[in-house]
Structure formats: C-alpha cells, structure tokens
C-alpha cells in the first residue's frame, strides 16, 4: 500500500514524527506554495535543524541534492536526496510572524508561519522551545553579487517535490506560508495547501 499523503492545509501548519532512515516527500501540490520546514530532535526539542549551522556545514546558501542539514549542535538531521522543484529554496529568511504582518500594514490578525509551527506541533502535544529559522522550501529569495535580496515568486511547478531523509528520530513541522501581501507564494497571492508523504 502506498503511504498516505498528509495535507498541510492552506495557511496552516502540520507536524509529524519521523524515524531515522525514513524519507519525507514534500509536494508543492499547486506549484507556487512556500513550505516553511522545521525539524526537532525527538526527545530533546532544544536540538533542532539550524540554518546558520547548516550553511556552515554545506558551504552553500541553499541545499543541493546530497547536502545534509545540521542541528544547532552541528549533528546531521536531514539530507536532501531528491528535488524536482528546480532547486530554489531559502535559508535566509525568518518565518513570518504577527510582527511581520503588522509591519506590512495589517491591523487585524494575519495567519503566520510562527503560529503555524506551534499549531502543528500542538496536535502532537509538543511545544517547540522557540521558532528556529526555517528551511523555506520552494521560496525564491534571489541574491545579487552585491548581496541584495528580494522576495520573488516560486519557480516550482505543480506536483514538484523534494525528498529528505531523516538522519535521526525527529519531529518535522511544516507551514503552508500564508503570505498574501508579497508575491512569495506566486503573483496571484493565493496561498494553497501542500502535501507530504512519510515512507
């Protein structure tokens, strides 16, 4: 039997337990959805996937196939083993949060990836100790030689995916980013659902 596809609902978070050696396929179902991704060590949520430690280990801004992402204690946690999305992801930007949307002019509550991390984990009875910088799958933050950054629409296509392998028992958490003010989830600014499969 095929392992089940789990929905990351539009504008929401979802988390799951993953065993060492299992793979997680993260599917950009509708093609232009950024999926913020976190991984926490099972049994010690104070150890988690860290973008600054991963960049030092990879010597790259974004992971390529074969690259291993590291924890804040520099231990392997996820390895990227497949990527059909065009390979454009982001490790630089913090998860969106209420203050981000306040800064963008929102006067009422706006769904945000930080709350989605906590919401997804809450379904598992887990409270993350903080909001680590996420691996922003499918997020297109191009950089110039001068070091300038911009928020651009994804280049991924519907049904494209990445596959990561768990290097230890962990909790993985996702947020289907609800950003609808900038075009980071496509020029239509319509956040959508995404899916993942643990195998």
13-52 residues in contact with Zn ion (CB under 5 A) are none
Of positions 18, 35, 80, 96, contacts Zn ion by CB under 5 A: 96
- 148 CB-contact burial (10 Å; exposed 0-12 / middle 13-18 / buried 19+): exposed
Of positions 49, 51, 113, 176, contacts Zn ion by CB under 5 A: 113
Name the segment binding Zn ion (CB under 5 A); options: 74-82, 129-137, 142-150, 169-177: 169-177
Q: Is 170 in the site for Zn ion (CB under 5 A)?
A: no
Name the segment binding Zn ion (CB under 5 A); options: 22-30, 49-57, 120-128, 175-183: 175-183
H helices of 35-179, in order, are 51-58, 98-103, 113-122
Distance in angstroms (rounded) separating the CA atoms of residues 194 and 9: 7
Of positions 177, 185, 191, 192, contacts Zn ion by CB under 5 A: 177
Q: Please say whether the beta carbons of 2 and 172 come within 8 A.
A: no
Q: Please say whether the beta carbons of 192 and 178 come within 8 A.
A: no
Residue 42 or 181: which CB sits closer to Zn ion? 181
Distance in Å, CB of 26 to Zn ion, minimum: 15
CB hemisphere CA count around 40 (13 angstroms): 23
């Amino acid at each position: 039997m095929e392992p089940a596809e789990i929905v990351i609902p539009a504008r929401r978070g979802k988390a799951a337990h993953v065993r060492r050696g299992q793979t997680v396929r993260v599917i950009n179902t509708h093609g232009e959805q950024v999926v913020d991704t976190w991984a926490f060590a099972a049994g010690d949520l104070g150890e988690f996937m860290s973008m600054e430690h991963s960049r030092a280990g990879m010597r790259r801004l974004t992971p390529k196939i074969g690259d291993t992402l590291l924890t804040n204690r520099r231990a392997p946690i996820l390895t990227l083993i497949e990527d059909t999305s065009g390979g454009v992801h982001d490790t630089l930007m913090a998860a969106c949060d209420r203050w981000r949307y306040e800064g963008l002019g929102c006067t009422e509550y706006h769904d945000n990836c930080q709350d989605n991390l906590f919401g997804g984990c809450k379904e598992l009875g887990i409270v993350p100790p903080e909001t680590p910088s996420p691996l922003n799958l499918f997020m297109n933050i191009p950089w110039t030689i001068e070091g300038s950054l911009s928020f651009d629409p994804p280049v991924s296509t519907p049904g494209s995916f990445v596959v990561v392998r768990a290097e230890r028992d962990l909790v993985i958490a996702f947020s289907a980013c609800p950003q609808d003010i900038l075009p980071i989830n496509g020029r239509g600014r319509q956040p959508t659902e995404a899916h993942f499969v643990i195998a």
